Amino acid sequence: MGLLDRLDNPYETGGIILGTLEDILNWGRSKSDWYLHFGLACCAIEFMSMNASHFDFMRFGIIPRATPRQADFIMITGTVTLKMAERIKVLWEQMAEPKYCISVGSCANSGGPYWQYGYHVLKGVDRIIPVHVYVPGCPPRPEAMEEGMMKLQKLIDQQAIFRKRQKLAEEEKMFANQSKR
């Protein structure tokens, strides 16, 4: 690792890393994601295994939160029923931007085995909230969930926050001008 060598001997190699602020911010964001665990069904049991020994999810810097207000992303693990769907919407709206969603398991992706006769099953959580990463499987293995998590980290790493902020500010300006007229 080149980076660690530099830290070992900062005087010889300068100890300076060059990068954009955006990269560093994204690096910080993606490596300490806090999630709102939304365990619903069978996938939640695999999710528990992932948190326990052998798989140890927390080594990725990912810490479970019980409240949406402290969470960076939500993990929907399991079948979403119509009775539950409105609660998911509310929780999603309570989360602070920037927020992400991982949909775990066939049921959350598309209704899974309940797609045909499940009169009380929502066929895919993406019908009510936006989904960033889909993890297939019924239930997915813990490794698959970790892979999905890493996909999300990659997505966060590549995000252009400043350009987005700029665009948002421009839009706001335009909106303000429009409303003045």
Partner 1 sequence: MTIEEIYSVLKEKFGDSIGELVTNQPVDPYINVLPDKLFEICLELRDNPELDFDYLMCLSGVDFPETLQVVYHLYSMKKKHKIVLKVTVPKDNPKVPSVEKIWRSADWHEREAYDLFGIIFEGHHNLVRILLPYDWEGHPLRKDYKEPETYHGMRVPY
Partner 2 sequence: MTTTRFIDIDFSKIESDRMRLNVGPQHPSTHGVLRLEVELDGEVVTNVIPHIGYLHRCFEKISENMNYQQVIPYVDRMDYISSMNNELAYVMAVEKLMDIKVPEKVEYIRVIMSELNRIANHQIAVATFGLDAGAFTPFLYLFRDREYILWIFEKASGGRLLFNYFWVGGLANDVYPTFKEDVLNIVKQVRKTNKEIEDLLIYNKIFIDRTANVGVLPADVAINYGCSGPVLRGSGVQFDLRKNEPYSIYDRFDFEIPIGKGEVGTVGDCWDRNIVRMREMEQSCRIIELAIAQMPNEGDVQAAIPKKIRPPKGEIYFRAENPKGELGFYIISDGKDKPYRVKGRAPSFVNLSVLPEISRGYLFADLIVILGSIDIVLGEVDR
Binding site for partner 2 (CB under 8 A): 37-42, 44-46, 48-49, 52-54, 66, 78-79, 81, 83-84, 87, 91, 113-114, 116-121, 138-139, 141
Q: Which partner, partner 2, partner 1, none, binds residue 46 by CB below 5 to 8 Å per kind?
A: partner 2
Q: Which class for 9: exposed (0-12), middle (13-18), buried (19 or more C-beta within 10 A)?
A: exposed
Residue 122, Cβ density class (10 Å: 0-12 exposed, 13-18 middle, ≥19 buried): buried
Site string for partner 1, 69-98 (x = CB under 8 A): -------------xx-xx------------
End-to-end alpha-carbon separation of the chain, Å? 58
The CA distances from residue 155 to 42, 94, 99, 143, 158, in Å, are 27, 22, 12, 18, 5
For the segment 107-166, give every residue that binds partner 1 (CB under 8 A).
110-111, 115-116, 119-120, 122-123, 127-128
- Site residues (CB under 8 A) for partner 1? 82-83, 85-86, 110-111, 115-116, 119-120, 122-123, 127-128
